[in-house]
């Protein structure tokens, strides 16, 4: 359907008639002399009728005026209503990008990959499923920073997550879990009092930052932020050396006790992901714990139509100006 943004401007349509009616007519008592040196010139001047304007020129001017007024009302074409799912949930994902995330103890499509690559693969699919949620992204290593603020544009969040790399925040092998939680609280506390969730994924312990993880967790609890923590990394790994193969624990630095305490303080849960399958199961469980609500909103796509009548009005005005110039 066609919609006019400013229909009140249609009241300007009779303005030229009011102008002609209210202002006095131009005086025509000007004495003029016509000098016709040759009889054939006199006939030509008589045939031209002086410099009288044809009546259809006035009608063209009226059409141009109507088109100009129609363009000024800003006509728009509104398409069919499109349904949009909105849940009202704010969901922030905090991902560890410290040097330890480069450990290749995850298998993806038959190949050993680092922990960050496995996280990207599973978390991207999780973000795609969060239709209706506002999602954001925090990356943390020695420092924590907001990579993406809360937005409905999940594709952009996924793109920026996939572009993250080990050491993007700094080159030091340190982890600031407390600062990441504090940053999430800062950007979520002023939002509406709805479901606010932080999913924090790390493979280590807090070794940097200005605030401890438990202090940040208490701050999150005071502001109604629920935190789900995920400890990532295999329990054992075969390492080849000069003395033969030996088993090592690549997750020996994982501080599970602190991650559990963070989840308990904020009424969340702690999960352990030792491989890609467990990581996928965790995100599927998070879908159940924080289901996408089915609130519906509708919006109508809009396209502007005013350039068409405006262009036609300008073309007619240009034609009238050129024609009047030739009559002189």
Span 91-122, pLDDT tens digits: 999 999 998 898 888 888 888 899 999 999 99
> Which pLDDT does position 42 carry in this prediction?
42
Q: What's the Cα-to-Cα distance from 267 to each of 90, 224, 270, rounded to whole Å?
A: 16, 9, 10
Instruction: Establish if 242 belongs to a structural domain.
Output: yes
Segment 222-241 shows an average pLDDT of 83
Burial class of 235 by CB neighbour count within 10 A (0 to 12, 13 to 18, 19+):
middle
> Which pLDDT does position 156 carry in this prediction?
93
* CB of 309 closer than 8 Å to CB of 71: yes
Segment 133-139 shows an average pLDDT of 92
> Which pLDDT does position 89 carry in this prediction?
77
What CATH number did the domain enclosing 127 receive?
A: 3.40.50.410
Question: Tokens 């990579």 sit at which residue?
Answer: 147
* Same domain flag for 261 and 316: no
CA-based torsion, 277, 279, 284, 289: positive or negative: positive
* Same domain flag for 64 and 185: no
Intra-chain end-to-end CA distance of the chain, in Å = 46
* Same domain flag for 147 and 175: yes
User: How many domains are contained in the chain?
Assistant: 2
H/E stretch holding 247 reads strand 244-248
DSSP bridge pairs for 246? 239
Report the alpha-carbon distance of residue 257 to residue 272 in Å, rounded.
12
> Which pLDDT does position 52 carry in this prediction?
62
Instruction: Establish if 22 belongs to a structural domain.
Output: no
Instruction: Establish if 35 belongs to a structural domain.
Output: no
Segment 69-78 shows an average pLDDT of 91
Instruction: Establish if 52 belongs to a structural domain.
Output: yes
* Same domain flag for 312 and 233: no
* Same domain flag for 192 and 267: yes
* Same domain flag for 162 and 242: yes
Task: Identify which of 156, 175, 206 has the alpha carbon closest to the alpha carbon of residue 97.
Answer: 175
Instruction: Establish if 36 belongs to a structural domain.
Output: no
> Which pLDDT does position 248 carry in this prediction?
63
Q: Kindly state the tokens that stand for 161.
A: 């997550």
Report the alpha-carbon distance of residue 44 to residue 11 in Å, rounded.
45
What percent of the chain is helix, strand and coil (3-state, nearest 5)?
40, 25, 35
Specify the higher pLDDT residue, 251 or 261.
Answer: 261
Q: What percent of the chain has pLDDT over 90?
A: 43
Domain membership of residue 67 as a residue range = 2-16+43-80+300-327
Instruction: Establish if 132 belongs to a structural domain.
Output: yes
Number of alpha carbons in the 13 Å side-chain half-sphere of residue 18: 5
* CB of 220 closer than 8 Å to CB of 266: yes
* Same domain flag for 174 and 273: yes
* Same domain flag for 261 and 291: yes
Q: What is the pLDDT of residues 138-188, one digit of tens each?
A: 999 999 999 999 998 999 999 999 999 988 877 677 899 999 999 999 998
Longest dimension (CA), the chain: 125
Instruction: Establish if 147 belongs to a structural domain.
Output: yes
Query: pLDDT confidence of 39, banded at 50, 70, 90?
Result: very low
* Same domain flag for 65 and 146: no
Burial class of 176 by CB neighbour count within 10 A (0 to 12, 13 to 18, 19+):
buried
DSSP bridge pairs for 3? 76
The arrangement of strands across the sheet holding 226-232 comes to 144-151, 134-140, 90-96, 196-202, 226-232, 270-273
* Same domain flag for 60 and 153: no
* Same domain flag for 68 and 177: no
């Amino acid at each position: 359907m066609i919609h006019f943004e400013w229909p009140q401007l249609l009241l300007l349509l009779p303005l030229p008639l009011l102008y002609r009616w209210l202002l006095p007519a131009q005086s025509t008592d000007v004495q003029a002399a016509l000098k016709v040196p040759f009889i054939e010139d006199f006939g030509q001047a008589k045939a031209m009728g002086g410099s009288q304007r044809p009546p259809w020129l006035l009608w063209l001017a009226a059409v141009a005026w109507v088109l100009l007024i129609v363009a000024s009302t800003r006509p728009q074409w509104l398409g069919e209503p499109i349904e949009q799912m909105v849940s009202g949930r704010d969901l922030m994902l905090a991902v560890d990008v410290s040097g330890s995330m480069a450990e290749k103890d995850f298998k993806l499509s038959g190949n050993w990959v680092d922990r960050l690559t496995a996280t990207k693969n599973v978390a991207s699919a999780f973000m795609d499923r969060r239709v209706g949620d506002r999602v954001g992204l925090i990356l943390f290593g020695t420092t924590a920073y907001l990579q993406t603020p809360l937005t409905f544009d999940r594709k952009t969040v996924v793109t920026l997550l996939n572009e993250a790399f080990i050491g993007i925040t700094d080159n030091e092998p340190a982890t600031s879990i407390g600062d990441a939680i504090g940053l999430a609280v800062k950007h979520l506390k002023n939002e509406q009092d709805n479901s606010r969730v932080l999913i924090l994924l790390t493979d280590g312990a807090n070794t940097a930052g200005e605030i401890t993880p438990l202090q940040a967790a208490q701050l999150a609890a005071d502001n109604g932020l629920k935190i789900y923590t995920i400890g990532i990394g295999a329990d054992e790994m075969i390492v080849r050396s000069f003395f033969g193969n030996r088993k090592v624990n690549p997750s020996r630095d994982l501080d599970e006790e602190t991650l559990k305490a963070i989840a308990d303080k904020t009424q969340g849960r702690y999960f352990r992901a030792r491989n890609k399958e467990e990581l996928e199961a965790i995100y599927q469980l998070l879908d159940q714990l924080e289901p996408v609500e089915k609130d519906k909103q509708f919006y109508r796509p809009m396209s502007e139509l005013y350039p068409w009548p405006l262009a036609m009005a300008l073309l007619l005005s240009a034609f009238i100006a050129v024609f009047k110039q030739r009559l002189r």
